[in-house]
Amino acid sequence: MTGDFLALAQPGVQKLSPYVPGKPVDELARELDIDPARIVKLASNENPLGASPKALAAIRNALDELTRYPDGNGFELKMALAERCGVKSSQVTLGNGSNDILELVSRAYLAPGLNAVFSAHAFAVYPIVTQAVGAQAKVVPAKDFGHDLDAMLAAINANTRVVFVANPNNPTGTWFDARALDAFLNAVPGHVLVVLDEAYIEYAQGGELPDGLNYLKAHPNLLVSRTFSKAYGLAALRVGYGLSSPTVADVLNRVRQPFNVNSLALAAACAALDDSDYLAESRRLNEAGMLQLQDGFRAIGLGWIPSKGNFIAVDLGREAAPLFKELLREGVIVRPVANYGMPNHLRVTIGLPQENARFLEALSLVLTRG
């Protein structure tokens, strides 16, 4: 008799649900038998601008070397990031998306008998990477959908090795300020690694959000994770990075795949980092789109959670799942977030002005119909 390979999986994995990504455009086009060009996808916090021309040119240049393994140490990108971030290159860890950084942290620091602390309504990958290695996920109730940093501190015990905090958080868009981060970092015990997930920080800088890099010197137990998937517009290439003490970077380097960032991604990320015009346009488009969506929600009479990301969670005041399905029928893909404990919200990525308008029109239609 063969074994029950679900029951044989380690207990933490048995209790996991797989990550649910935004529905791909082609999948909906197949299901509805409609032209993909008519579909608007605002479901995965992707950059609506299209990739930077500089990144595209760098990819074309790198194509000639596809038969070779990439630079396993990512020398050039690490140097560029170190210079940009004011750290040593020994403090940089590159990842296959910042998702990879989260995995490296859990593999290096978590194990059965240990735990990771994070907030309710936080990024769905935190429980996955925690339970995948047999560690316990300690989920702390949120305050007004945002991180309750005091309660998170109180949840830390002798077996805690990692705290995941996202600023701003996905899918809520909520954030905390420099005073709150300062107090938190000063109070976290030294044996706990604080993973400050700044996947959306480029959209939020210059405002009320602290820059995690400013805290690295004083806090050797801090790791800041960032990505090229959002404001830099390279989600498909999967490239992110961690900034930490050299010791933590050295530990993460021991458990990563030898070639975890591919050569096209390395080349494109270097070029994207240099394209300040693209970044400025990403931010401008996002700010304008955020206002457009808020104006639209106000006109329909809906509330929302204030957001510092490239997305916004709108409160439909009733179960969102049926309306999500109705929107699909209108060719508009957004993200239901019931699996994040938010059954009445839909998370909508800020798109191009015409995409935002299409979404608002469809939303208003399905709301009046329903």
User: Whole-number minimum distance, CB 152 to ligand PMP, in Å?
Assistant: 16
Helices 321-329 and 353-369, packing angle to 10 deg: 120
3-state secondary structure (DSSP) of residue 369: helix
Which CB atom, from 52 or from 170, has the smaller least distance to ligand PMP?
170
CA distances from residue 345 to 120, 288, 303 in whole angstroms, order as listed: 15, 22, 10
Q: In this structure, which amino acid lies at residue 196? A: L
The answer for residues whose C-beta is within 8 angstroms of residue 77's C-beta and 6 or more apart is 94, 239, 241, 261, 266, 269, 270, 273
Give the interface with ligand PMP as residue ranges (CB under 6 A): 45, 97-99, 123, 166, 170, 197, 199, 227, 229, 235, 240
Rg, C-alpha atoms of the chain: 21
Question: 365-368 long-range contacts, Cβ below 8 Å, gap at least 24?
Answer: 365/330, 366/323, 366/326, 366/327, 366/330, 367/300, 367/316, 367/323
Let me know the angle formed at the C-alpha of 278 by 276 and 284, rounded to the nearest 5 degrees: 105
CB of residue 166 to ligand PMP, shortest distance in Å: 4
In the complex, the smallest distance separating the C-beta of residue 263 from ligand PMP, rounded to whole angstroms, is 18
Closest to ligand PMP by CB, 226 vs 330, is: 226
Please identify, using beta-carbon distances, which residue of 197 and 355 lies nearer to ligand PMP. Answer: 197
Q: How far is the CB of 340 from ligand PMP (least distance, A)?
A: 11
Distance from C-alpha of 72 to C-alpha of 94, rounded to nearest angstrom: 10
CB of 235 to ligand PMP, least distance (A): 6
CB of 368 to ligand PMP, least distance (A): 32
**What token pair was written down for 104?**
């490296």
Question: What are the two backbone dihedrals, phi and then psi, of residue 223, each rounded to the nearest 5 degrees?
Answer: -125, 125
In the complex with ligand PMP, which residue's Cβ is closer, 164 or 297?
164
41 sits in which H/E element: strand 40-41
Q: How far is the CB of 34 from ligand PMP (least distance, A)?
A: 26
Which one, 290 or 360, has the nearer CB to ligand PMP? 290
* Maximum separation of any 2 CA atoms in the chain, in Å: 63
**Is 240 or 331 the residue whose CB approaches ligand PMP more closely?**
240
Q: What residue type is assigned to position 226 of the chain? A: R
**CB nearer to ligand PMP: pick between 97 and 212:** 97
Q: How far is the CB of 67 from ligand PMP (least distance, A)?
A: 27
The residue nearest ligand PMP at its CB is 97
For residues 114 and 12, what is the distance between their CA atoms, to the nearest angstrom? 12
Taking the least distance from each CB to ligand PMP, the nearer of 52 and 99 is 99
